[in-house]
Chain A
Amino acid sequence: MNLIVFTKRVPATQEEELRITGEGKAVDLSKVPFKVNDWDNYSVEEAVRIVEKSGGTATAVSIGDAESDEVLRRAIAMGAKDGLLLETGDVFHDPNVRATLIHNFLKKENLPFDAIFTGVQSEDDQFGAVGGILAAKLGLPFVSMVIGIDTVESDHLIVRRELEGGLQERVKVMLPCVISIQTGINEPRYVSIMGIRKASKVERKVYKAADYQDSMKSKIEIIKWVYPPKKAGAKILSGELESACKELLGILKEKGVYQ
């Protein structure tokens, strides 16, 4: 089984207070540390587990600037055979643009694969659409929200998709295909610094994204960035205990967790 798995270096914004600059033109990420996209971490782990068990190779691909080499080294330390960087200084917000770039790259380089793994979404833009668009462009079947791969055969996979409320759907999908992996499908191994240093010895190939940009026109425009409405601390439900409790139940209903 030859797998291509995508991995992205994203800003670790969870703990940060983000600042918008230039009257909505940009989000200042200069002080934010970067990390591997959580979904991609699971998806690399899953790909590696499959090839460890059934043979073949996992090839990690990243789109980004030279710093993205970091997530490729990480993927190799986890067990990927190769790391390919599609280098670009641009940030592509439009999932159509990203998928077109990947599509052009795969076609032009004629990379062989049985399946392509992507994370369901990336932590920064949360578009969650690149895998699906790519599958359609390649004319391949697509399954997203994959929370379990039960069977790996030479011509098909049997996977479980995570739906809402603890329900899953078992699906058979023919190869080759595109699969988007959900977090929680496995427990990604720890990647030690020593492991990453060893992985650095494996050569990573660098391709210029500019060479694969045919018909890569953005289909959406970003007008500006804005802050969400401010959260004003806890709203204290005061008054009689009875009315406070009723108000609490009202909130539970509004949030849809209690009917």
Chain B
Amino acid sequence: MQEAIVNTNRVLTCIQCGKCTGSCPESGKTPFNVRMLMRKRQFRNTIEEFLPWYCTSCGACTIRCPRDVKPSEVIIEIRSGFVENGDIPAAIQKALENTFVQKNPWGRSRAKRGAWVEKLDFEIPHVSETASKRLLFTCCIQAYDPRCMVIPVNVATILNRYGIEFGILGEEEACCGNEIRRIGESGLFEELQEENKTVFKEYGIKEIIALSPHCMNAFKKEYGDMDIKVSHYTELLAPMIKNGTITFNGTYNKKVIYHDPCFLGKQNGIFDEPRDILKTVQGIDFLEFIRSRENSMCCEGGGGRMFFEVETQYKRNSEVRVEDAFQKGAEVIATACPFCVMNLEEKAVEKGLEVKELSEILMEVL
């Protein structure tokens, strides 16, 4: 594990300014309070076992902290203490045990990780058979969830149509571990990292196209130096659309509002590529949330929150987000992360709004 990720010693320098709590998507409405947690950590006070699990790992606190305390990393450290003691919420435990056995948090068959390619009308080679050694990394939820499976299907179709060579790993792909590390199971994260890196090395992979911002984040920032170019698929497509390599024939006559995923936007600075792509599509009336870009509101899908529910009942951010979109007059919420899609869609449907992963809009206008 790299020093940079887990250096949480700066918690002692916390001045309790409260900027973390102010930016936190959970503080205020739930018993969770980042500033209080940092205080308890400074004094090594006991932390109630249910508390650290509210964190969605959106990273807002770490970005805003004036003392570089990295509160979101301190929370991971607090969680790891509970993980070591074996005392964690049952659903989190299940997700970890599943990942240990099947290399995905849902415990689906690893042998079926590549089954989504059956939905394509062309064949994708194994990455070892490509000249470019360009890997399309599927991601667990997109390999198994029927709703999210369209994302790899769409992106593969687009890449294939424009002659961009790429390959996949199929069942040799393991969970990236981004959420696993944030749950506080660093040992398991290391094993997943080791397994993926070994495979990347074995096949001489030179480039990874990540479909989920969470996977992208892990490969870019937490896998150490792999000498592999890592990009989110919007980073690959945006310049090609700009220079005319990819053109759209259709129009999309809808009011579309773009929701920044935390791991794409605020944590990795990819704000413009998805917007540029959407703005190129004819007919789109492009809207912005008031809280957008660095201030985008978390969907509450990160940090392990996709796998379990916190006990407190409160208004979900997805509901707030859908209401904001509705107020703005949007018909479609576009985003570029499977977790955001899953969380927003549930509430959007009730308001009569559509949620589209960016590639879904592209498929309609190609």
With contacts A15-B102, A190-B96, A194-B186 known, is A31 near B83, CB below 8 A? no
A190 touches B187 (CB 8 A): no
Q: Is the CB of A192 within 8 A of B84?
A: yes
Task: Give per-residue flags for B219-240: 1 if the beta carbon is below 8 A from chain A beta carbons, else 0.
Answer: 0000000000000000000000
A109 interfacial by beta-carbon distance below 8 Å: no
CB-based contact B84/A12 at 8 Å: no
Contact of A33 among B93, B96, B101, B185 (CB under 8 A): B101
B98 CB to closest chain A CB, in angstroms? Answer: 9
Q: Is B191 an interface residue (CB 8 A)?
A: yes
A31 in contact with B188 given A190-B83, A190-B87, A190-B93 (CB within 8 Å): no
B185, A192: Cβ atoms closer than 8 Å = yes
- Other-chain contact of B101, A12, A17, A189 (Cβ < 8 Å): A12
**A191 beta carbon closer than 8 Å to chain B:** yes
Interchain Cβ contacts within 8 Å, total number: 53
Contact of B188 among A16, A78, A193 (CB under 8 A): A193
Q: Identify B185's interface contact among A12, A15, A189, A193, CB under 8 A.
A: A193
B259 within 8 A of A: no
Residues of A with C-beta under 8 A to B90: 187
Q: How many angstroms from the CA of A78 to the CA of B85 in the assembled complex?
A: 10
| In contact, A35 and B83 (Cβ under 8 angstroms) | no
A interface, by DSSP: helix, strand, loop or mixed? loop
A213 to chain B, nearest CB (A): 32
Of chain A, the residue at the smallest CB distance from B86 is: A189
B117 touches A (CB below 8 Å) = no
Is there contact, CB below 8 Å, between B101 and A193? no
Interface residues on chain A, number (Cβ under 8 Å): 21
| A107 at interface by CB-CB < 8 Å | no
A-chain residues with CB within 8 Å of residue B191 when the two chains form the complex = 193
Q: Is the CB of B86 within 8 A of A193?
A: no
- Known contacts A35-B101, A187-B90, A193-B190; decide if A15 and B109 are in contact (CB<8 Å): yes
Check A15 against B107 for contact (C-beta < 8 Å): yes
Q: Are A197 and B187 in contact (CB under 8 A)?
A: yes
Mask, B103-119, CB within 8 Å of A = 1, is: 00001111110000000
| 7 interchain residue pairs of minimum CB distance | A193-B187, A189-B86, A15-B109, A190-B86, A194-B187, A190-B93, A193-B188
Residues on A close to B: CB < 8 A? 12, 14-17, 31-35, 78, 187, 189-197
Binding site for A on B (CB under 8 A): 83-88, 90, 93, 96-97, 100-102, 107-112, 171, 185-188, 190-191
25 contacts between A and B (CB under 8 A): A12-B102, A15-B112, A16-B111, A31-B111, A32-B111, A33-B101, A33-B102, A35-B97, A35-B100, A35-B101, A78-B86, A187-B90, A189-B85, A189-B86, A190-B83, A190-B86, A190-B88, A190-B93, A190-B97, A192-B86, A192-B187, A193-B188, A193-B190, A194-B187, A195-B86
